[in-house]
């Protein structure tokens, strides 16, 4: 069998380069593909809604969260006196922050915690499903499958998962919506139980969204752009935020409508669907290699003949 | 001195030289620090934090240096698929650099992951997340390093046993080699498919990070750019190793082989730059290059470090002179490595006020892991027939013929 150069190029790059090229120049992906990769919220998905305009910044939710989750309070910045974390960290899953505009007039509190995305980048990237979606859409972490690669920290657009940098047996720490108590010993997470103004409430995502829209409709022009953050951002989140200031000032980035995992699936599924391309490429290369190998052995024999005719042969 | 490389020889040089001790010392420091890290925690030895949770180990030792370790892949594609038979004498050097690049990369990865004991659960495919790009990288890299690369590196080892004084062992080595020859086409095919997959997936890895990676780098074309850069850096690494080896151990220089390597490398670099700039234009972000903030300066530095050598190496006289060939390849390597390193560090922008600069221990470990590769390389070329040599030098060896089929 004679192998033509064209076949070689096809076989060699069939698995990777041509496919990547086709995808990259926009030949392959279509709007349909994007819809096919989209993840819709589970009908029973639960979440939180945080209305910053109702939050008084009492931070009662923070120790409640610590107690419920058995976390040591972070008192580092106050010399051990008060819990005063500066950012989310390995002992803080939930943090109330205050945003003040440079001119000092506009202020808003912000409850920083896991947003429990509809299509989370951390879950998509996690190599062994240590981070996974629970039946109600809560993003949970399973310590026995986590290798500590911290890809979740790279992937999360909200910079939420934290890591115990100073432990031999480090854990990934992030809000899991009190999944160890909700539905068992408690009806809702610790933070919503203690919130005195109901700035943060727990419920079904669909009901929370309806409530958010009701509030927006009630006071047109009050909330930022008359929209609720988390309805569409990055494919949607199960924790929703309402505020009167620009959401990007509250650490909530501007995200595409299509989630990042969906974009990645769209660019790689074409190549890896059913693992077909790599298998075909492998078969093609084996076919070429068997020919090349035969030629090669002949070459080696020929080269050897004149100088060492009596050497023992191999193969 | 020019020469025509024909076969591989074992260097008859003393192993325990001053450079060997220096690199062995650096390697020992890294291993001790690695042990300390395993007994304490990552935070005690590295500068990593919750914003920049990937640093030198993953971004440099794995992402950047396995591209440099793609020499075995790139040269083998030339030698076998494109049937450039003249590359056969340098295949052993190429696949050894790959094994060392990947091996030390995986060692760095082992130190970097926080809960390595859970790797055991990776043996059960039911735990796999089929959507995870990182899983694909991990599985493919392991399979490549443990199956394909080991197989490719086997002949010099068997040959050494074959040449030994024990006739029984010699016969067994020959038998094993003959058996292995039958599986070579399948093994080598694996050594083409696996790196194509994981080297491009290293690009997809950062695609998931979305707009946290600066827009100059973040593109759906990352997998393609990463894969092509692996070829470019693979060629560059083999070139640098051969040039340094021929200088250190007086092997002569085969200007046909080296020139062809440099020529292919520079063409590919030009194509790579063209793809990158067409992509910038297509996404409409070329204007960002002229802002001259740290991102645009870094991007322009990468471009210049790649463009100047790529153009210079189009000249036959630059390729023919050892000094200029080395300097240009070195510059190109710097540019390529910077590109591979940047998206997860310099161009990475976590929300919030985070800074990352590698700690002294981290830098020592990173250097030390690479030193392990150098130590093993020095050992290997003096114990096994790895480096290419001319007919004259081989005749002077006057030993039994090697297993020269690979």
In the block, tokens 């808003």 appear at A108
Residue B13 pLDDT: 84
- In the predicted structure, residue B397 carries a pLDDT above the cut 70: no
Residues of A in contact with B127 (CB under 8 A): 128-129, 145
pLDDT of B232 > 60? The answer is yes
Residue A39: pLDDT over 90: no
pLDDT digits (tens, 9 = 90+) for A191-231: 999 999 999 999 999 999 999 999 999 999 999 999 999 99
Residues of chain B with Cβ-Cβ distance to A254 below 8 Å are 211
pLDDT tier at A99 (50, 70, 90 boundaries)?
very high
* pLDDT of residue A23 exceeding 50: no
How many other C-beta atoms lie within 10 A of the C-beta of residue B226?
25
**Which pLDDT score is estimated for A35?**
54
**What pLDDT does residue A274 have?**
66
Q: Is the pLDDT of residue A55 over 60?
A: yes
**Given this model, what pLDDT does residue A2 score?**
46
Summarised one tens digit per residue, pLDDT across range A66-75 is 999 999 988 8
For the segment B255-261, the average pLDDT, to the nearest whole number, is: 93
For residues A192 and A276, membership in a common domain is answered with no
For residue A183, give every residue at least 6 positions away whose Cβ sits within 8 Å of its Cβ, in sequence order, or none.
Answer: none
Distance from C-alpha of A262 to C-alpha of A265, rounded to nearest angstrom: 5
Cα A150 to chain centroid distance, Å, stands at 11
The Cα B202–Cα B226 span in angstroms is 7
Interface of B with A in 152-211 (CB under 8 A): 174, 177-178, 181-182, 184-186, 188-190, 192-193, 196-197, 200-201, 204-211
Query: Do both A205 and A293 map to the same domain?
Result: no
pLDDT tens sequence across B111-126: 999 999 999 998 888 9
Domain membership flag for residue A198? yes
Spatial distance between the Cα atoms of B321 and B206, rounded to a whole number of angstroms: 39
Confidence label for B390 from pLDDT (cuts 50, 70 and 90): confident
For chain A, how many structural domains are there in total? 2
Cβ neighbours, 10 Å, residue B228: 23
Count of helix runs (H) and strand runs (E) in chain B: 16, 2
| Residue B190: how many other CB atoms lie within 10 Å | 21
**pLDDT given for residue B87 in this prediction:** 92
| Percentage of chain B exceeding pLDDT 70 | 97
Q: What is the Cα–Cα distance from B114 to B37, expressed in whole angstroms?
A: 10
The residues in B 260-319 lying below 8 A from A, measured between CB atoms, are: 279
CATH code at position A133? 3.30.70.20
Determine which of A65-79, A142-156, A235-249 has the lowest per-residue pLDDT on average.
Answer: A65-79
Predicted pLDDT of residue A11: 47
Q: Give me the residue label for tokens 């074959």.
A: B162
Would you list the domain boundaries of chain B?
13-397
**pLDDT band at B251; cut points 50, 70, 90:** confident
Whether the predicted pLDDT of B205 surpasses 70: yes
The verdict on A88 and A12 lying in the same domain is no
Do A81 and A224 fall into the same domain? yes
Q: Is residue A309 part of a domain?
A: no
Considering only the top CATH level, what class is B13-397?
mainly alpha
Q: B326 near B318, Cβ under 8 Å?
A: no
Chain B, 54-113: which have a CB under 8 Å from a chain A CB? 54, 77, 80-83, 85, 112-113
Name the nearest CA neighbour of A248 among A114, A108, A121, A119.
Answer: A108
Give me chain A's average pLDDT, please: 85
Residues A31 and A45 in one domain: no
Position A22 pLDDT exceeds 70: no
pLDDT tens per residue, range B341-371: 998 889 999 988 899 999 999 999 999 999 9
Q: How many CB atoms lie within 10 A of CB B250?
A: 12
- Alpha-carbon gap, residue B102 to B72, rounded angstroms: 11
Q: How many CA atoms lie within 13 A of B261 on its CB side?
A: 36
Chain A residue closest in CA terms to B201: A268
Please give the distance of CA B14 from its chain centroid, rounded to a whole number: 26
Domain hosting residue A221, numbered range = 41-257
Detail the DSSP E strand segments found in chain A: 46-51, 95-100, 107-112, 131-133, 139-141, 162-163, 172-173, 200-204, 240-242
Report pLDDT for B1.
64
Under 8 Å between Cβ of B93 and B386: yes
Write down the pLDDT at residue A227: 95
Contacts of B309-312 spanning 24+ positions with Cβ under 8 A: B309/B266, B309/B269, B309/B335, B310/B266, B310/B269, B310/B270, B310/B273, B311/B266, B311/B270, B312/B266
* Rounded (5°) CA angle A254-A172-B350: 30
Q: What is the C-alpha separation between B70 and B318, in angstroms, rounded?
A: 24
Give the ipTM of the model, two decimals please: 0.90
Choice among A28-32, A269-273, A289-293, B66-70 with the minimum mean pLDDT: A28-32
- Looking at the structure, tell me whether residues A17 and A48 fall in a common domain: no
Measured N-to-C along each axis, helices B133-143 and B167-207 cross at an angle, to the nearest 10 degrees, of 160
pLDDT at A20 over 50: no
Q: Give the full edge-to-edge strand order of the sheet including A46-51.
A: A200-204, A46-51, A240-242
Task: Name the token pair of A83.
Answer: 């819990």
User: What does DSSP assign to residue B253?
Assistant: B
Residue for token pair 């854990």: A171
Q: List, in sequence order, every residue forming a beta bridge with B7; answer none if it has no partner.
A: B389
B282-312 pLDDT, tens per residue?
999 999 999 999 999 999 999 999 999 999 9
B295 alpha-carbon distance from chain centroid: 26
For residue A270, pLDDT beyond 90: no
The residue with greater pLDDT, A28 or B153, is B153
User: Is residue B385 within 8 Å of B156, Cβ to Cβ?
Assistant: yes
| Chain Cα centroid distance, residue B270 | 20
Can you tell me which residue has the tokens 């998509």? Answer: A124
The answer, for B324 touching chain A at a CB cutoff of 8 Å, is no
pLDDT at B239: 96
The larger pLDDT score, comparing residue B223 to residue B3, is at B223
Let me know if B233 is exposed, middle or buried by CB neighbors in 10 A (0-12, 13-18, 19+): buried
Closest CA to B78 of B260, B224, B206, B245: B260
Cβ contact B66:B195 at 8 Å: no
pLDDT (0 to 100) of residue B38: 92
CA atoms within 13 A on the CB side of B15: 13
Which of A239-253, A265-279, B142-156, B187-201 shows the highest mean pLDDT?
Answer: A239-253
Contacts with B, A 147-206, CB within 8 Å: 147-151, 153-155, 157-159, 162-170
Phi, psi of B9 (to 5 degrees): -130, 160
> Between the CA of residue B17 and those of B10, B21, B219, what are the distances in Å?
17, 7, 47
* Per-residue pLDDT reduced to its tens digit, B11-56: 888 889 999 999 999 999 999 999 999 999 999 999 999 999 999 9
- What chain A residue is nearest to B57 in terms of C-alpha separation? A149
Nearest-angstrom CA–CA distance, A58 and A278: 56
- Whether residues A62 and A198 share a domain: the answer is yes
B395: pLDDT strictly greater than 90: no
Are B118 and A145 inside 8 Å of each other by CB?
Answer: yes
Domain assignment of residue A313, yes or no: no
The strand pairing partners of A163, in sequence order, are: A172
- The tokens for A46 are 């639960």
The answer, yes or no, to whether residue A3 has pLDDT greater than 50, is: no
Which residues in chain A have their CB less than 8 angstroms from residue B53's CB?
150, 153-154, 163
d(CA A228, CA A240): 7
State the Cα–Cα distance between residues B98 and B68, nearest whole angstrom. 8
Residues 6+ apart with CB under 8 A from A116: A47, A137, A138, A139, A175, A177, A237, A238, A239
pLDDT of residue A105: 87
Examine the pLDDT at A37 and tell me if it is beyond 80: no
DSSP A258: S
Residue B160: pLDDT band by 50, 70, 90 thresholds?
confident
**Entry field: residues in chain A:** 315
């Amino acid at each position: 069998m004679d192998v033509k150069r064209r076949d070689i190029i096809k076989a060699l790059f069939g698995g990777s380069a041509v496919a990547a090229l086709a995808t990259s120049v926009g030949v392959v992906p279509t709007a349909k593909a994007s819809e096919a990769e989209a993840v819709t919220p589970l009908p029973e998905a639960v979440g939180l809604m945080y209305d910053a305009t109702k939050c008084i910044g009492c931070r009662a939710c923070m120790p409640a969260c610590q107690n419920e989750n058995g976390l040591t309070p972070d008192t580092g910045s106050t010399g051990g006196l008060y819990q005063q974390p500066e950012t989310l960290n390995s002992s803080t899953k939930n943090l109330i922050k205050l945003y003040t505009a440079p001119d000092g007039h506009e202020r808003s509190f912000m409850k920083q915690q896991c947003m429990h995305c509809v299509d989370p980048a951390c879950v998509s990237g996690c190599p062994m499903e240590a981070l996974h979606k629970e039946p109600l859409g809560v993003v949970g972490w399973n310590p026995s499958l986590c290798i500590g690669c911290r890809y979740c920290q790279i992937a999360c657009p909200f910079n939420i998962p934290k890591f115990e940098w100073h432990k031999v047996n480090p854990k990934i720490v992030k809000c899991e919506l009190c999944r160890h108590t909700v539905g068992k010993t408690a009806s809702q997470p610790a933070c919503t139980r203690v919130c005195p103004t109901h700035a943060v409430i727990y419920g079904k995502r669909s009901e929370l969204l309806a409530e958010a829209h009701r509030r927006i409709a009630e006071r047109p022009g009050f909330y930022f752009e008359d929209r609720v953050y988390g309805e569409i951002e990055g494919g949607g989140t199960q924790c929703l935020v309402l505020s009167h200031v620009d959401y990007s000032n509250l650490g909530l980035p501007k995200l595409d409508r299509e989630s990042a995992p969906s974009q990645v699936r769209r660019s790689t599924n074409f190549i890896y669907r059913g693992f077909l391309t790599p298998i075909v490429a492998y078969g093609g290369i084996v076919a070429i290699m068997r020919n090349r190998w035969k030629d090669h052995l002949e070459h080696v024999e020929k080269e050897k003949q004149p100088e060492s005719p009596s050497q023992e042969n191999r193969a | 001195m020019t020469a025509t490389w024909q076969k591989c020889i074992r260097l008859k040089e003393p192993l325990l030289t001053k450079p060997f001790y220096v690199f062995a010392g650096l390697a020992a420091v890294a291993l001790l620090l690695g042990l300390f890290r395993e007994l304490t925690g990552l935070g005690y030895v590295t500068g990593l934090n919750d914003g920049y949770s990937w640093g030198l180990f993953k971004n440099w030792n794995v992402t950047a240096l396995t591209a440099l370790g793609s020499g075995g892949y790139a040269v083998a594609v030339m030698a076998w698929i494109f049937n450039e038979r003249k590359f056969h004498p340098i295949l052993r050097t190429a696949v050894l650099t790959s094994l060392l690049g990947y091996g030390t990369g995986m060692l760095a990865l082992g130190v970097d992951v926080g809960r390595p004991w859970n790797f055991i659960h990776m043996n059960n495919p039911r735990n796999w997340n089929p959507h995870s790009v990182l899983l694909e990288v991990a599985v493919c890299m392991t399979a490549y390093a443990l199956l394909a690369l080991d197989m490719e590196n086997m002949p010099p080892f068997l040959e050494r046993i074959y040449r030994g004084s024990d006739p029984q062992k010699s016969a067994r080595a020959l038998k094993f080699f003959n058996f292995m020859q039958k599986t070579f086409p399948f093994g080598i095919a694996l050594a083409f498919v696996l790196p194509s997959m994981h080297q491009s997936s290293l690009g997809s890895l950062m695609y998931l990070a979305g707009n946290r990676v600066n827009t100059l780098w973040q593109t759906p074309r990352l997998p393609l750019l990463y894969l092509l850069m692996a070829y470019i850096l693979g060629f560059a690494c083999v070139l640098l190793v051969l040039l340094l080896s021929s200088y250190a151990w007086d092997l002569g220089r085969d200007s046909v082989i080296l020139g062809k390597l440099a020529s292919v490398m520079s063409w590919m670099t030009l194509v790579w730059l063209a793809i990158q700039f067409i992509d910038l234009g297509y996404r409409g972000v070329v204007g960002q290059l002229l802002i001259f903030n740290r991102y645009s300066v870094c991007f322009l530095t990468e471009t210049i470090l790649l463009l100047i050598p790529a153009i210079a190496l189009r000249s036959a006289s630059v390729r023919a002179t050892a000094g200029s060939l080395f300097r240009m390849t070195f510059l190109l390597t710097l540019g390529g490595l910077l590109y591979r390193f940047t998206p997860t560090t310099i161009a990475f922008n976590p929300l919030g006020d985070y800074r990352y600069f590698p700690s002294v221990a981290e830098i020592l470990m990173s250097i030390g892991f690479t030193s392990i590769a150098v130590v093993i390389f020095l050992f290997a070329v003096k114990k096994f027939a790895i480096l290419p040599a001319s007919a004259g030098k081989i005749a002077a060896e006057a030993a039994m013929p090697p297993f020269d089929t690979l």
